[in-house]
Structure 1
Amino acid sequence: MKRLEINSNNKILGFGEIMLRLTPTNFNKIIQSNSFDATYAGGEANVICSLSSFNHDTKIVTKLPANSLGEKVIRDMRAFGVDTKDIVKGEGRLGIYFLETGHGVRNSEVIYDRKYSAISMASKDEFDIDKILNDVKLVHISGITPALSKDLYEFSLDLVKEAKKRNIIVSYDSNYRAKLWSLDEASKFMKEVLPFVDIAFLGILDFKNILKYDVNMENDIELELERLYKELCKNYSNLKYMASTKRTVNSANNNSLQGFLFNGEKLEKSKVYTFDILDRVGGGDSFTAGVLHGLISDMKCSDAIEFATCASVLKHSILGDINMVDEKNVTDLMKNGIGNINR
């Protein structure tokens, strides 16, 4: 098993877009709504804020509009204890996404309004890599940000390449968004970034649709994932850990979840948790943060994947993209299970 060598004194960095989320109240559809709840978040920021809540030293890098909305985002990030000093401000707007929350048999729906956002218009020269990586031990990126522009595609690669030169751990979450780019475009980026990645969050559909591996979807997921992860390690010997979840949708408001973590030799799995949903968005980012926390904290792989899955399960009970739980909340669920009262 390969181990992570991490400078515990430095920060965990997330690079990516932060957006305004507008959600109709009371499970209403957008067409019937005149008021919306507003929150601020993004895939990488969700991970970083969650890690900050687990008492890690963190920072976020993005580009925001030079107006009150940009300042509001910075205040929200700082409220989580996240370092915002390397955030760039300038031309463009704050991207928006509308979330129509599903109920019963009606699925949730997302509408993006992010064209001309400040970060999508950013030049890669606006980001000072030397300054950004100066105090960093781990970089987390996803497949969302490079889909936004050619410059962000190139900068994401430049960032991880420079990180590896400095022996900084790189975490990558595929996070494929069909509304942002094609499978072929996502495949090209993934194959370029994987040689520099230590921890990869890749599910079985990523292997099938993006990496174009031969996947037996009728096989037991545990056996198939272990086979696929072992094959990926042969192609990318730099990979140390890979993780994903299996979600069973019982209804829009009730799911079951199980987590998997591969350490280069063996696949560990969590228990299966079945739970009601208040807000599903950010559940994957909470899982990612839980895995990173477990690995950084030198947990056994079996404990790390249980922690990550429990963190994701708890996120589904919280409104907004960001997981508002601390380490004790997660370990209490691990020890006591669902349905017990903490007294």
Structure 2
Amino acid sequence: MNKKQSGSVLCFGELLFRVSQDAGGNWLKENCVPFYIGGAELNVATALALWDVPSKYITALPENGMSAQIRSFLEAKKINVSDTYYHGNRVGLYYLTSGADLKHDALIYDRAGSAFAELKTGMIDWDKVLEGVNWFHFSAICPAINQNIADVCEEALIAASEKNITISLDLNYRSRLWQYGKSPVEVMPRLAKYCTLIMGNVWAAENMLGIPVDTDLHTIGEKANYLKAALKTSKHIIEHYPKCTTVANTFRFDADSGINYYTALYANKEFYSTVDHSAKQIANKVGSGDCFMAGLIYGFYNGLSPERTLNFATLAAFDKLFIKGDTTTSTAKEIKNITIK
């Protein structure tokens, strides 16, 4: 992936509305609550479009006036949404208390029966959708919704593989979504086998691909041990998923003293890691991982070296922690000019 690419990057996933009420309940008194448009894959597509990478996004929406407004909004951001599949009656949403983490109890999903959740194989003409595409991206959030969506993901991956399209996977683990009788390890290995680039962390790889992590890793709590675990997991993925050439890991630790963030990348049998990025206060945790994924795609799409790609992606992700909303508003030039103190 060291050669500059052409063609579009296609992101596939569910467009979501996020309602971000405050923890104290003032939103009820004021009849006002912050509201954002996003979704993991849309966040990636938005960042790439902002960074001048040809960006295409496919999702499912009901055919109504609100969807028409959404389409115009995304097109204004230079995202190609011409292959949106229209059917069904609603858009999925979730509630997340302001300042909270997606992994905590402040998260409530309301996605059942959405247009995206009701997709089935055979609905999307993937040969048509993949025309002019050289990179396909999705996340583990999609197959977590239900078996039909997992099957649609596999349908898309088979079509993309037949066209020799680069495929990236974000191992987003959302335990509350895996509620249809299948565990992630029963579903994700079947999809991961098509992927060129896999991103996540060692615990996501354990939950989704069954790659064990030492139980005392957190007890030791040292960066050298975390990176050693990342290298071990990365080598395991490369060995067991022959189409995968690159594995990325993120580490974000929250404490009373603030946030500490660093990342690692295994590519071409070389292991890279970044310096620590720390902050006492941040604005928002949502979308940082998506920004990191977008940064990886941006770097490899533009033919940057693995090291430069990792550094750009890490700066983009860290910068996103200080931006409200689900997507970054920083240009590629602004990210490259960030100085970590």
- Normalising to structure 1: TM-score of the pair? 0.90
For 1:265 and 1:27, how far apart are their aligned partners in 2?
A: 49
CA contact (8 A) 1:18 1:40 kept: yes
For 1:216 and 1:319, how far apart are their aligned partners in 2?
A: 35
SS of aligned partner of 1:144: coil
**Residues 337, 139 of structure 1: alpha-carbon distance in 2 compared, 3 angstrom cutoff:** same
**1:59, distance to aligned residue in structure 2 (A):** 0.6
CA contact (8 A) 1:22 1:96 kept: yes
CA contact (8 A) 2:2 2:304 kept: no
**1:210, distance to aligned residue in structure 2 (A):** 2.6
Partner of 1:197: 195
Question: Superposed, which structure 2 residues align to 1:278-293 within 5 Å?
Answer: 278-293=283-298
CA contact (8 A) 1:64 1:93 kept: yes
Q: Which amino acid aligns with 2:258?
A: N
Q: Which amino acid aligns with 1:193?
A: L
Unaligned runs of 5+ in 2: 218-224
CA RMSD of aligned residues (A): 2.2
CA contact (8 A) 2:8 2:133 kept: yes
**1:217, distance to aligned residue in structure 2 (A):** 4.4
CA contact (8 A) 1:230 1:264 kept: no
Partner of 1:216: 214
1:88 aligns with 2:85: yes
Partner of 2:273: 269
CA contact (8 A) 1:271 1:306 kept: no
**1:165, distance to aligned residue in structure 2 (A):** 0.8
1:69 aligns with 2:66: yes
Compare 203-212 and 149-158 and name the one that shifted more. Answer: 203-212
CA offsets 1:53-89 (integer angstroms, 9 cap, x no match): 1110011001111123322321222122000100011
**1:37, distance to aligned residue in structure 2 (A):** 1.6
**1:169, distance to aligned residue in structure 2 (A):** 0.4
Partner of 1:337: 340
For 1:126 and 1:207, how far apart are their aligned partners in 2?
A: 30
SS of aligned partner of 2:68: helix
1:243 aligns with 2:248: yes
Q: Which amino acid aligns with 2:106?
A: E
1:259 aligns with 2:263: yes
- Normalising to structure 2: TM-score of the pair? 0.90
Partner of 2:173: 176
Work out the percentage of aligned pairs sharing the same amino acid.
23
SS of aligned partner of 1:44: helix
**Residues 57, 89 of structure 1: alpha-carbon distance in 2 compared, 3 angstrom cutoff:** same
CA offsets 1:243-287 (integer angstroms, 9 cap, x no match): 121111024x93111011110412211111112211110010001
CA contact (8 A) 1:19 1:41 kept: yes
SS of aligned partner of 1:24: coil
For 1:4 and 1:148, how far apart are their aligned partners in 2?
A: 34
**1:176, distance to aligned residue in structure 2 (A):** 1.3
**1:229, distance to aligned residue in structure 2 (A):** 1.1
Report how many aligned residue pairs link the two structures.
330
**1:184, distance to aligned residue in structure 2 (A):** 5.1
1:20 aligns with 2:17: yes
CA offsets 1:64-119 (integer angstroms, 9 cap, x no match): 11123322321222122000100011222011111202379xx6722111111111
For 1:332 and 1:190, how far apart are their aligned partners in 2?
A: 37
CA contact (8 A) 1:256 1:274 kept: yes
CA contact (8 A) 1:233 1:264 kept: no
Q: Which amino acid aligns with 2:263?
A: G
